[in-house]
């Protein structure tokens, strides 16, 4: 087995904000890993803490009012102990971010070529000519036609989809090992969205990047994810391979999310009810107040410990505790008693 550490190891990540009404815990002790070259998707309803989680990784969270705690190891190095200048060297270089709205991330007063070249020269000691050549090359790679002539165009001369392509080119200047993409296609129409997802997929292979992708669109997840982290109200409900999530979702929350997919013809209006108050969350499982299967045990203590319900599939749900009848929540999950026998302990 490889002894190389995962590309990214997030452990007990907790991010709070001081607000006028008290301390708001946006991300509450979450764990997940990303291996190099792998795409991990964080999914969950609006307000679950997806953006805050990803922005806590390189601490782009404004502090104060934000405060990030826990451990984030990137290629074995602890990011949360790094100084601001050290982090600045990593951001946009080893770890790049692309955001939902390219409009906001661009400077309207400069040509896009200039902006890419500038981003490059911040990190690399290259001449203007080299920077231009590299920028044109990147524009070409992200599918901007006639890249060398488009270099001198201003952002308003590009369509929404093209702007997102330019943002991706800008993210690639440092040849990142990890690309964090927060709803990068949500603002685009469906056809363009599919093209951008395909582009990201191709680039991931070419650049051999790990990708952390945030979305609330499970259709997008099905297209690109290797593994999925399902978040709800600052907690992780389930972590699993993409196939397992779609074939045998374990956590009732994941099941409900899938049930809202349009092609399943389920609950088009979303899951009934709303997220708890992040300043005063309920005891027990965060999802219990909206869960069809909640029992008194679900409303006690903290979020249930994660249980491996199927190889590599972890769910934070009391129904999977040893000795319990989990048939009420086990949708299509094979009985793991026999399945996991012979594969050895999961932590080998």
Ligand X SMILES: Nc1ncnc2c1ncn2[C@@H]1O[C@H](COP(=O)(O)OP(=O)(O)OP(=O)(O)O)[C@@H](O)[C@H]1O
- Of these, 44, 102, 276, 284, which contacts ligand X (CB under 6 A)? 44
Measured from the CB atom, is 24 or 240 closer to ligand X? 24
Buried b (16+ CB within 10 A) or exposed e, 85-102: eebeebbbbbbbbbbbbb
Measured from the CB atom, is 51 or 115 closer to Ni ion? 51
Q: Residue 330 binds which entry of Ni ion, ligand X, none, with Cβ cut-offs from 5 to 8 Å by kind?
A: none
Of 131, 195, 146, nearest to 168 by C-alpha is: 195
Q: Helix (H, G, I), strand (E, B), or coil: what is residue 275?
A: coil
Of 281, 278, 245, 238, nearest to 261 by C-alpha is: 245
- How many residues bind ligand X (CB under 6 A)? The answer is 15
Buried b (16+ CB within 10 A) or exposed e, 195-204: bbbebbeebb
Contact 184, 164 (CB under 8 A): yes
Q: Residue 48 binds which entry of Ni ion, ligand X, none, with Cβ cut-offs from 5 to 8 Å by kind?
A: ligand X
- Of these, 4, 19, 264, 328, which contacts ligand X (CB under 6 A)? 19
Sites for ligand X among residues 202-241 (CB under 6 A): 216
Sites for ligand X among residues 139-178 (CB under 6 A): none
Nearest-approach distance from CB 50 to Ni ion, in angstroms: 5
Residue 144 CA neighbour count, 13 Å, CB half: 30
- Of these, 52, 112, 180, 212, which contacts ligand X (CB under 6 A)? 52
Nearest-approach distance from CB 63 to ligand X, in angstroms: 10
DSSP character for 292? Answer: T
Instruction: Report the DSSP beta bridge partners of residue 211.
Output: 39, 179
- Is residue 248 near ligand X by the rule CB under 6 A? no
Q: Residue 160 binds which entry of ligand X, Ni ion, none, with Cβ cut-offs from 5 to 8 Å by kind?
A: none
Q: Helix (H, G, I), strand (E, B), or coil: what is residue 227?
A: strand
Task: Please identify which residue in the block is written with the tokens 């978040």.
Answer: 231
Nearest-approach distance from CB 302 to ligand X, in angstroms: 19
Using the rule CB under 6 A, give the single segment among 41-49, 129-137, 188-196, 202-210 that binds ligand X: 41-49
- Is residue 65 near ligand X by the rule CB under 6 A? yes
Contact 92, 119 (CB under 8 A): yes
Q: Distance from CA of residue 281 to its chain's centroid?
A: 23
Interface residues toward Ni ion, by CB under 5 A = 50-51
Could you tell me the two tokens for 26? 């946006």
Sites for ligand X among residues 282-321 (CB under 6 A): none
Nearest-approach distance from CB 305 to ligand X, in angstroms: 23
E strand spans, 197-289? 210-214, 227-232, 235-241
Measured from the CB atom, is 10 or 131 closer to ligand X? 10
Using the rule CB under 6 A, give the single segment among 48-56, 89-97, 124-132, 195-203 that binds ligand X: 48-56
Measured from the CB atom, is 231 or 309 closer to ligand X? 231
Overall size of the chain counted in residues? 348
Binding site for ligand X (CB under 6 A): 17, 19, 24, 26, 44, 46-52, 65, 216, 278
């Amino acid at each position: 087995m490889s002894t190389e550490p995962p590309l990214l190891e997030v452990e007990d990540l907790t991010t709070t904000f001081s607000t006028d009404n008290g301390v708001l815990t946006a991300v509450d002790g979450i764990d997940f890993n990303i291996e190099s070259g792998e795409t991990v998707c964080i999914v969950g309803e609006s307000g679950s803490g997806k953006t805050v989680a990803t922005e806590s990784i390189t601490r782009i969270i404004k502090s104060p009012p934000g405060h990030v705690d826990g451990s984030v190891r990137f290629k074995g190095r602890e990011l949360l102990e790094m100084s601001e200048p050290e982090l600045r060297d990593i951001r946009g270089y080893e770890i790049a971010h692309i955001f939902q709205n390219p409009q906001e991330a661009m400077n309207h007063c400069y040509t896009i070529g200039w902006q890419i070249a500038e981003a490059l020269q911040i990190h690399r000691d290259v001449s203007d000519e080299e920077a231009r050549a590299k920028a044109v090359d990147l524009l070409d790679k992200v599918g901007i036609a006639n890249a060398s002539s488009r270099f001198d165009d201003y952002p308003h001369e590009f369509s929404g989809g093209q702007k997102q392509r330019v943002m991706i080119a800008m993210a690639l200047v440092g040849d990142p090992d990890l690309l964090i993409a927060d709803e990068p296609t949500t603002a685009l129409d469906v056809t363009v969205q599919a093209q951008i997802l395909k582009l990201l997929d191709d680039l991931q292979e070419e650049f051999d990047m790990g990708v952390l992708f945030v979305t609330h669109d499970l259709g997008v997840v099905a297209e690109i994810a290797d593994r999925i982290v399902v978040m709800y109200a600052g907690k992780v409900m389930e972590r699993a391979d993409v196939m397992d999530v779609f074939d045998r979702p374990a956590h009732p929350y994941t099941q409900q999310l899938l049930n809202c997919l349009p092609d399943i013809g389920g609950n088009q209006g979303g899951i009934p009810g709303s997220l708890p108050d992040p300043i005063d969350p309920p005891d027990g499982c965060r999802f219990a107040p909206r869960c069809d299967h909640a029992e008194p045990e679900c409303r006690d203590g903290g979020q249930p410990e994660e249980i491996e319900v199927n190889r590599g599939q972890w769910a934070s749900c009391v129904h999977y505790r040893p000795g319990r009848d989990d048939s009420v929540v086990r949708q299509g999950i094979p009985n793991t008693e026999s399945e996991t026998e012979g594969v050895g302990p999961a932590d080998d």
